[in-house]
Amino acid sequence: MNGAAATAAAVGSASSRVPARRPAGFRFGTSALIGLILPLGLALGWELAVALHWSDGRLLPPPSLIIATLFELLRTGDLIGHVLATLQRVALGFLFGVVAGTTLGAVSGYWALARRLIDPTLQALRNIPSIAWVPMFILWFGIFETSKVILIAVGVFFPIYLALSGAILSVDRKLVEVGRVFRFSHREMITRILLPATLPTYVVALRAGLGLGWMFVVAAEFMGAEQGLGFLLIDGQQTGRPAVILASITAFAVLGKLTDWLLATGTARFLRWEDGFKPVE
Amino acid sequence: MLDIRDVSKRYPNDVLALAGFGLTVAPGEFLVIVGGSGCGKSTLLRLIAGLDRPTTGTIALDGTPVIEPRPEIGMVFQEPRLMPWLSIDRNTAFGIRHLPLAEQRVRVSEALARVGLASHAGHWPRELSGGQAQRVALARALVARPKVLLLDEPFSALDALTRNDLEEHLLELWAFDRPTMVLVTHDIEEALFLADRIVVMRPSPGRIVAELVPTLPRPRDRAGPDFHAWKYRVLVELDQAVRRPTGEEAFPAAAI
């Protein structure tokens, strides 16, 4: 890529010209800490409520018990197995969902005929609840991994398809005209103008898709898994151990937040050009 | 040579934007088209650029009809229209993507140096002023070395000082490899400062009403008495263009 290094260098020097309001490390640290206030405060409150016997904590175990359960699961090695099984399903489902959603979204955003052909059907399919697919997917793809991954891919597909095909329609016509003056082919028009222009929307759609992937994995693991955080959840329910259910839910929350953070940070460098609203300090 | 013959353009909403338009532009000539808003001057540029097709008539460059955008014809719009996600150097290289990378790099740095923005190669478009962004748009068009450069009110969104600055700059760029220039404007002073020949258009439907060849030596002095006399002449032509009685086809019922 020509100029990429030059770009990086120049951007670095551009930002160093602007007097920094505060050191970046301090800002990152505080914003991360601010985000912890709410969950830690709630956990602490609940811990106190149980410790002071305002609640017996039987149906909603206190955080200390949930953490103890997590450590116990970690010690036996069960947790790692569950986490890896679930992560693999989400990763595969996300990958297929993103590829399909991006391809069909770009095609239906670009060609009117493709849009007329596929969009009505996809819009109808979109409204089918995920759980409704479970029996059919088991019949079609068996009880093992294939049906689970496909279910997750379906969940990831729709927000990406919808956002991308819609965003392409709102790309500035004036920029597209520049591509026409330079005699861009259809493919160049899509890859050099339409996709970059829709990138900010696309990234939000990826994050929404990933979130749905995490939701659909639970539905997928309800259909007879032997491993996975969703299995752990069901197991906790069937053996009457709320702490195990909450441990599984906590793991979902942590993993979901972590993967979303990875996605957001990983894509941030492609969006440095954005000239949007910066939230007030 | 750019040859426009008997061109008319009727839009789907039945507005007749151009009628019976004929014009030839010599290689290397700087032609400026002036006219009020709605006189079809932007429509004309879009037709020459191959972005739209004329309803009747033909446009040809060196004998080959223009029916779609061509590499020999460059265009600068009223807005810079830079890709906000590309650094300035990559924006400049936008139209020469088919060339080898080394060649692209040489041409881009040349073009940016020529518009005085060599030091901004790695910047984002959002970091530029309006005048700088329009210079990049000029560099992006010229880097492809077009035979014909079309400019659609390229400086109308800029403040007066920046505009004068860029007009002088445009003449330098023109002198460099002498493309045929067709610039559309509603600014008489701009037209007189730049043009070898001025074509005055009138609206409803768009057509030529006058042609003037300013016999002012270059570089032209905007404050000189001759310049003012010429300004007055163009103004009179424009004024008459608006008031001259209209023909029957001038106001198609559906267009009102």
- List strands edge to edge, sheet with B2-10: B16-25, B2-10, B56-61, B64-65
What gap in Å lies between CA A151 and CA B141, rounded to an integer?
A: 49
What gap in Å lies between CA B244 and CA B256, rounded to an integer?
A: 19
Question: Which segments in chain B show pLDDT lower than 70?
Answer: 241-256
pLDDT by residue (tens digit) across A244-278?
898 999 999 999 999 999 999 999 888 888 888 88
Per the listing, tokens 């009628």 go with B19
pLDDT at B247: 47
User: Average pLDDT of chain B?
Assistant: 89
Interacting residues of A67 by C-beta distance below 8 A, sequence separation 6+:
none
Read off the pLDDT band of A21 (50, 70, 90).
Answer: very low
Cβ-defined contact of A182 to B87 (cutoff 8 Å): no
Spell out a b/e string for A207-233, using b for 16 or more CB atoms within 10 Å of the CB, else e.
Answer: bbbbbbbbebbbbbbbbebebbbbbbb
Cβ-defined contact of A10 to B86 (cutoff 8 Å): no
Q: What is the mean pLDDT of residues A77-94?
A: 92
Kindly list the residues from chain B whose CB atom is less than 8 angstroms away from the CB atom of residue A196. Answer: 83, 85-86
The pTM for the full model equals 0.80
Q: What is the mean pLDDT of residues A14-34?
A: 55
| Cis geometry, peptide bond prior to residue B71 (ω within 30 degrees of 0) | no
CA distances from A24 to A15, A30, A267 (A): 12, 10, 19
**pLDDT surpasses 60 at A4:** no
Give yes or no for B69 touching A (CB within 8 A). Answer: yes
Angle at B156 between CA B44 and CA B46, to 5 degrees: 20
Side chain identity, residue A218: V
For B61, phi and psi rounded to 5 degrees? Answer: -115, 120
Cβ-defined contact of B83 to A275 (cutoff 8 Å): no
Read off the pLDDT band of A60 (50, 70, 90).
Answer: confident
pLDDT at A109: 93
* CA B197 and chain centroid, separation: 13
Q: Which of A3, A8, A196 comes nearest B83 by C-beta?
A: A196
Q: What is the mean pLDDT of residues A14-41?
A: 63
Please state the ipTM of this predicted complex.
0.87
pLDDT by residue (tens digit) across A103-123?
999 999 999 999 999 999 999
Q: Are B66 and B75 in contact (CB under 8 A)?
A: no
**pLDDT surpasses 50 at A13:** no
Per the listing, tokens 């990831």 go with A156
Cβ-defined contact of A272 to B124 (cutoff 8 Å): yes
